[in-house]
Structure 1
Amino acid sequence: MASCSKDADSLFNDTADLVFTNGNIYTVNTDTPWVQSVGIKDGRIVALGSDAETAKWVGPQTKTVNLHGKLAMPSFGDAHVHPIFGGLSFAQCSLHNGRSVDAYIAIIKKCLAETPGDDLLFGRGWGPGYFPPDGVPHKNILDALAPDRPVVIQSTGGHSYWVNSKALALANITKDTPDPAKGRIDRDPVTGEAVGGLQETAKDIIQPFIPAPTDVEMQNAILYTVKLFNSLGITNWYDAGIDDIKPDGESATLDAYTEVKAQGKLTTHVSIALKWDNDKSLDQIPTLYAVAKRAGAAGFSANGIKLYTDGVIVQRTAAVLEPYVDTKDDLGELSIPVQELNDIVTKLDHDGFQVYVHSIGDRAVHETLNAFERARSVNGSNDNRHFIAHLNLVAPADQPRFSTLNVAANFQPLWASDDPYMRLTAERLGPERMQYIYPANSILQAGGRLVYGADWSVASADPLLGIEVALTRKPTDRPEAKALLAHEGVTLAQAIKAYTLDVAFITHREDETGSLEIGKSADLIVIDQNLFIIPVNDISDSKVILTLFKGQTVYGSLSGL
């Protein structure tokens, strides 16, 4: 095994800054999957091989670190994350750690006590699965806690608001208020009164009353996410859609990223998707392109445009091919009409942009694949690397099309197990369609590409939790549970690749990061257990103990190994 290549010798003709020895180092490079040692200089990998092969890179100033057999590997990526939304969520009234309605009540009480006054209390993080049968919480719970103060709390996924009577009054939402297009005010079936749930675009009615975050708050949200993600071994993320783009092309989100980067604190590769506004036409394209150009000038990749084609299954806002089983004819609704979707995708594809699509129901997935197929027939093949996120329900006939159309499948592996939300999903879809829930392995075996992302803060950002569930299809805290379609589990090597090299691929960085290879950025992690030899149910108990980004320690310490 060669410890360096000819290119490496010409680029790095001196001793290394840092050499790890005596390790079990998994490279995610199929040609040389395992090595014992890695050498790093000027933030890049200059040597890979056995301890003897990398020894020539050790000089008087080289720091040598004995891994004592520990597992090292490329740092993780995350192809679907909401860094500012997530960071703000944990800085506000956060319900994310609640696991019952009673827990939510205790958290909200504490938030109210800590922020006295009559200003609107805004929070995030309730899970629809804790509010059967329809995933809609009632205003009465909040009214009992805050009868005289408006309270608005966003769901984990961001598709719903839970509001109290005071907030409904503030926004002048009554039984006579019509549902907005592509949105719903949840109502009492007898009286027609609003019960406290606002779905999709109905959230916009109350949005003007929710204070916007300040510039500093947004910067702090990014910094929070950087620190958290580095501690979990993540150094490459794809922001799943900035939505504050103004007609003049200004974006407070992009400004916040730029400022954090200027401070030298953005210790991760960042790609940014620009959110498509479904209420606007193709006329918004010049503005989006201008923002992408400005982001590129600031050192970010912003070549992706994020489309939303539907909502979520439990609230019946996801677009499905057959009616929800607890209704006669409810198919949900496409957020973008079919012809318009075709035109958007074809135009963006023609212009060289990556199309990044939220599609949850099987009809949304089907029509999105149709749009990609049409774009390909018009524009021909290219390297835009389009992908679809979530894919909760994918019809069998559509599963092979990911490979055929060269469209990547962006799954959130932690979602693919039995939990309260999944049980409500089963009530909406029925047993037959539950056979096509998160068909990760089926798409993979048909030749498709898997790209993992947590959708944080909807779910934990920890890739080690996601890897275990990707393999077992069981909750990490209930290994005795029945697997959710066990045949859709993937192998450990496949899951790691979907969290590393395939994220690098989808962010057009596979030549820079995602695997340990000569000349690539020294983005790597050390884990306290060897994932390849421990029982699969112990993967979620493993911890990242060191994270390097461009050769610099951003979490843990070299002396701690």
Structure 2
Amino acid sequence: MKYILLHCSSRFFSHENLRNTPEQPPQPHKTADIVFRNGNIYTVDKQFKKTSSLAKRIGNTTKVVDLQGKMIMPDLVDAHMHVVSGGEFLLKCNLNYQPLPIAGLLAHVQGCIDDEGAGDDVWLEVSGSITKPHLDQLATNRPVMLRSADYHTVLANSRALEISNINADTPGPANGVVERHPGSREPSGNIEAGKAALKLLREEGITTFQDAAANPTFNAIFNGIKTDDALSASVNLDYRIATPKTLGAVDGIAIKAFIDGVITYPTLTAAPDAPWAPNGTWIGEPYWEPAFLEQLFLAGTDVRLHTDGDLAVKVALDAAAAFEQKHSKKKFKFGLACDEVTLASDWACFAQLGVDAIMSYQWTQLSSFYIPNTFKTLADYRLDNLQAYPQIENAGRPIVYGSDWPIDPLDEFLALKVAVTRSGDPENPNSPASFELPFDGPFPGVGEIDLTREQAIRSITINSAKFLRADDQIGSLQKGKLADLIILEKNFLEVPKGKLGRNRVLVTVVGGEPVFIAEDAGDFVQLDGLTAKFPNHEEDPLNKRLAARAIGGFAGKKLSAKGQKAAQLLRKRGECLHHKH
């Protein structure tokens, strides 16, 4: 029998050995609120134990959950997300890239309008593409704007153009254009958001996250959610800053800044150590030299930098080396996010300097982001330096994982599968491999050094917890830590490699209290009447609204196979924060 004991009232694990030694006679204990038994429980401690000797103490009111062999592991800690932005997207009226007749698309938008019952001056933002003449057919006086699937085109109805004072004489904006009809020249073309995001996070098993481009208003958002007793995850905020002129200009103990942009074609704003192509020219120099890091570290500020190109990574590591040489006794917390291209000579520097690489495994899939133009642009030698998280880990610095959601769909176990195999999943609609060839294949660098399953799990649990300075409370299942854990449908440590990305969370527990239970969880485990704090049925007002906002329901989870395929064909990598500076 395998047990784990939870005390909801204290929110902490309370473990004891099943056998008591003479030197330590049995002591009286309170009974547990919940006991999980008959499962495969992975502690993710230093030994990565699969435990079978955690205590049980069952009383008259104890809920006993029979896991029937299912896997328990610590909660997921996502160290790089944009949670408020993701929640705002979930609240939008979303056409979900579906190729429906215009009448069907307009009917969905009209449903969003009717459901809100808002006044004539309240804007409605829609994710999708419908032209102005069609938008003007909607039964509303409200201003309506739509963002296209690539997030770079905005369409609006007549009312929105009127309010925005855009007409036939309006000049095009800087670095943009107002599309016009050839003849007439007429233009053609927050707490609730946090709650929506938290709903998706608990369904994914994420109970701690860091918003990697936050601003001070986010404090009010999450404090408001906490006041409503609706917080289901621990919140960490990195305040985004531009190049600081003085230390006083930095407001916060954890900050995020951008050294460069992205490597993907045609943006090419990442900073390369040499021309992108052998016969190319320099494109995408660093936005700024991080010489200011010394003052930040001395002030005790935790720093995360976006570094996508190998020069940007090198510049940041050199700054860390200079600080370490000058202030050898001063400890600092420094993370480099993305790191899509790195120099082999820098892989060991992460460990030597104590710098964390925060990486998004799902980018290590063949996709239209790379094939054909990005791969053609990169010099051949860089293909072995793409997404080098196995090399950095095996050089001594464990990787920290961050999904960067909503840049990509939130699918943590697909990402972990990619971490282990450097390939996508042809049966997962969130994976480009579902397009089959040429995307159903290995990413460059496969077969050299891969992450193990244990390393992948650590990266999204204890490693991320350490980066967030929270590993004394979360990240592993150990005595004295918070009772944050998840139950999985499949055992990630045992299923065939090809099926690693087809997993899901059945139950999410935060502080000993279930916050999510899948509708069909009872088909896999015996729950003994266990209920979740947050209802999972569509009759709940928030759930009902979120389900109605998008074609295919909340987060598109009820799209048909055909609908999922259509969404995958049109989906882009979202509105990337990385190229804005």
Normalised TM-score (structure 1): 0.73
Output the CA distance in 2 between the equivalents of 1:107 and 1:466. 34
SS of residue paired to 1:554: strand
Shift of 1:461: 2.2
Question: Tell me, which stretches of 5 or more residues in structure 2 are unaligned?
Answer: 1-15, 114-119, 138-142, 181-189, 427-432, 527-581
- The correspondence for 1:242, drawn from 187, 209, 214, is 214
Question: Which residue number corresponds to residue 77 of structure 2?
Answer: 77
Structure 1 pair 347–233 and aligned structure 2 pair: CA distance change class (3 A)? same
- Structure 1 pair 466–9 and aligned structure 2 pair: CA distance change class (3 A): farther
Residue number among 345, 348, 353 corresponding to 1:397 in the alignment: 345
- Residue 456 of structure 2 corresponds to 495
Structure-to-structure mapping, 1:20-419, within 5 angstroms: 20-31=36-47, 33-36=49-52, 49=53, 54-55=55-56, 57-94=57-94, 97-98=96-97, 122=125, 153=147, 161-163=152-154, 170=166, 185=175, 218-243=190-215, 251-278=216-243, 281-283=244-246, 285-286=247-248, 288-289=250-251, 292=252, 303-313=253-263, 314=265, 315-325=267-277, 328-335=280-287, 337-338=288-289, 341-343=290-292, 345-419=293-367
1:475 offset after TM fit, Å?
1.5
- Contact 2:78–2:206 (Cα < 8 Å) also in 1: yes
Q: Distance in 2 between matches of 1:347 and 1:104?
A: 58
CA shift for structure 1 position 286: 3.1
Whole-angstrom distance in 2 between the partners of 1:348 and 1:364: 18
Please tell me whether the aligned partners of residues 36 and 66 of structure 2 are also in contact (alpha carbons under 8 angstroms). Answer: yes
Amino acid at match of 2:284: G
CA deviations 1:375-416 (Å, max 9, x no partner) are 222333544321111111112112211111111111111111
Instruction: Give 3-state SS (helix, strand or coil) of 1:399's partner.
Output: helix
**CA–CA separation in structure 2 for the residues paired with 1:286 and 1:78:** 29
Structure 1 letter corresponding to 2:347: Q
**Contact 2:424/2:441, CA 8 A, preserved across alignment:** no
- Separation in 1 of the partners of 2:229 and 2:25? 30
Structure 1 unaligned blocks of 5 or more: 37-48, 127-140, 179-184, 187-192, 197-217, 244-250, 293-302
Q: Match of 1:509?
A: 470
Number of residues of Structure 1 aligned to a counterpart in Structure 2: 464
Alpha carbons of 1:379 and 1:513: their partners in 2 closer, same or farther (altered >3 Å)?
A: same
- Once the 2 structures are TM-superposed, how far is the Cα of residue 194 of structure 1 from its aligned partner? 8.0
In the TM superposition, residue 143 of structure 1 has moved relative to its aligned partner by 7.7
Closer, same or farther: CA 489–400 of 1 in aligned 2, 3 Å:
same
The AA in structure 1 aligned to 2:254 is G
| Whole-angstrom distance in 2 between the partners of 1:173 and 1:506 | 49
More helix by share: 1
Residue type matched to 1:508 in 2? R
Deviations along 1:419-448, whole A, 9 cap, x unmatched?
111224213314322221110100011111
3-state SS, counterpart of residue 370 of structure 2: helix
**Which deviates more, 500-509 or 373-382?**
373-382
* Paired AA for residue 271 in structure 2: A
Task: Tell me the equivalent position of 2:557.
Answer: none
> Is the alpha carbon distance of 1:106 and 1:35 closer, same or farther for their aligned partners in structure 2, counting shifts above 3 Å?
farther
* Contact persistence 2:261–2:269 (CA under 8 A): yes
Shift of 1:147: 10
Give the superposition deviation at 1:451: 0.6
- Aligned letter for 2:152? Y
Partners of 1:142 and 1:151 within 8 A in 2? no
| 1:23 partner letter | G
| Residue identity in the other structure for 1:282 | K
Task: Provide the C-alpha distance between the structure 1 equivalents of 2:68 and 2:227, rounded to a whole number of angstroms.
Answer: 37
Cα separation, 2, equivalents of 1:12 and 1:270: 36
Aligned to 2:383: 434
Mark the CA change 1:120 to 1:361 in structure 2 (over 3 Å): closer, same or farther: farther
Q: Out of 430, 438, 442, which is 1:483 matched to?
A: 442
Report how far residue 518 of structure 1 moved.
0.7
Aligned-residue identity in percent: 25
Quote the offset at 1:552 in angstroms: 0.1
The CA deviation at 1:323 is: 2.3
AA of the residue aligned to 1:153: R
Residue number in structure 1 paired with 2:553: none
Q: Which has the higher strand share?
A: 1
Distance 1:173 1:504, change over 3 A: farther
Given that 1:16 and 1:62 are in contact with CA atoms closer than 8 Å, whether structure 2 keeps it comes out as yes
Q: Deviations over 1:248-288 (max 9, x none)?
A: xxx3221111111122211111111111123xx333x4354
Change (3 A) 1:430 1:328: closer
* Cα distance in 1 for residues equivalent to 2:501 and 2:29: 41
Equivalents in 2 of 1:170, 1:9: separation in Å? 80
| Preserved CA contact (<8 Å) 1:502 1:514 | yes
> How far is the alpha carbon of 1:64 from its aligned partner?
2.2
* Counterpart pick for 1:536 among 478, 493, 497: 497
Aligned letter for 2:419?
Answer: A
Per-residue displacement from partner, 1:278-326 (whole Å, max 9, x unpaired)?
3xx333x43543xx4xxxxxxxxxx311011111222111111222339
SS at match of 1:541: coil
Structure 2: distance between partners of 1:450 and 1:329: 32
Once the two structures are TM-superposed, the CA of residue 33 in structure 1 deviates from its matched residue by 0.7
Amino acid at match of 2:362: L
Distance 1:310 1:152, change over 3 A: farther
Q: For 1:2, which of 17, 29, 41 is the aligned residue?
A: 17
The DSSP-based 3-state class of the residue aligned with 1:282 is coil
Counterparts of 1:366 and 1:225 in 2: how far apart (Å)?
34
SS in 1 for 2:304: strand
**Offset at 1:525?**
0.8
Supply the distance in 2 between the matched residues of 1:312 and 1:125 (Cα, whole angstroms).
25
Matching of residue 447 in structure 1 with residue 396 in structure 2: yes
2-side partners of 1:271 and 1:550: how far apart? 17
Letter in 2 for 1:536: K
Alignment RMSD, CA only? Answer: 3.7
- Relative distance call for 1:458 and 1:363 in structure 2 (3 A) is same
Contact 1:342/1:374 (<8 A) preserved = no
Shift of 1:482: 2.1
Q: Is the 8 A contact 2:277 2:378 kept in 1?
A: yes
